[in-house]
Amino acid sequence: MKTLLFILALICGISTTFSQFSIDVQAKGSANSTWLLNKNISDLGARQDYAMAWGSTYGVAGNVYAGIIGVGIEFNYATHNGAYEGVISAGDVTLDTYNSSVNLKTLQIPLLLKFKSESGSYIEFGPQLTNISSATYNRSGTYPVIGSYENEPKDVSDQYSGSYLSGVLGFGAKIPLGESIPIGILVGIRLQYSFGDLMGVDGEGYALGSEEDPSIWYSTHEPTQAVSGGIVIGATYTIE
């Protein structure tokens, strides 16, 4: 992180010699397709399948540009959900079907390197620190899973890591409301993929464990990744 900050500062410092400064202050939100992926879950077949889940973010951002090159930081409150559906069976006999979900409430702090064109289009990438403030598991089915959680929301925050790092890639455009008006509309797409291990629970609510404390429900430990992609919409105010 310190190396990235140094590189960004160096680039911006060099660019200011030849370029004009500008600052963007933004309020933005997004709607995202969100996933919590783990190989142990993926290997279970019909017993546990991933289902579509949705999350959202809202927050503020500040970007400093020197010509076409800039650096930005954001503070976003977010929900990141994982959804599952499965079949509980004994041999060839189906005993129950269920749907379940995990809801993560987080604070995201991305630090992004940005490039923009004169027309207003941009591309951005960089690391993001995410802090998990709460994690809730919920399951709907006819029968509770033995050793797991019954059909009611359950706090599973202690099963998840407190924070994790992600890589962020985004692109879009700033659409000005007029030539002499510093306010514009922001429209874009952003993708995120986490590194490390979120740990957590599976679709039936069983702990996935960690490298240091493996789960008793699985023979090997596999890391959990948070993945998302969605549409970003916001308003931006430019100071030049």
Domain residue ranges of the chain, discontinuous segments joined by + = 30-177+186-239
Mean pLDDT over 170-192 rounds to 91
Strand partners, 45: none
pTM equals 0.83
How far apart are alpha carbons 23 and 58 in whole angstroms? 20
Higher pLDDT, 82 or 17: 82
Helix (H) or strand (E) holding 12: helix 2-16
Mean pLDDT in the chain?
88
Q: What is the pLDDT of residue 180?
A: 78
Mean pLDDT over 143-170 rounds to 80
Return the ∠ at Cα 132 (arms to 215 and 236), rounded to 5°.
145
13 pLDDT exceeds 70?
no
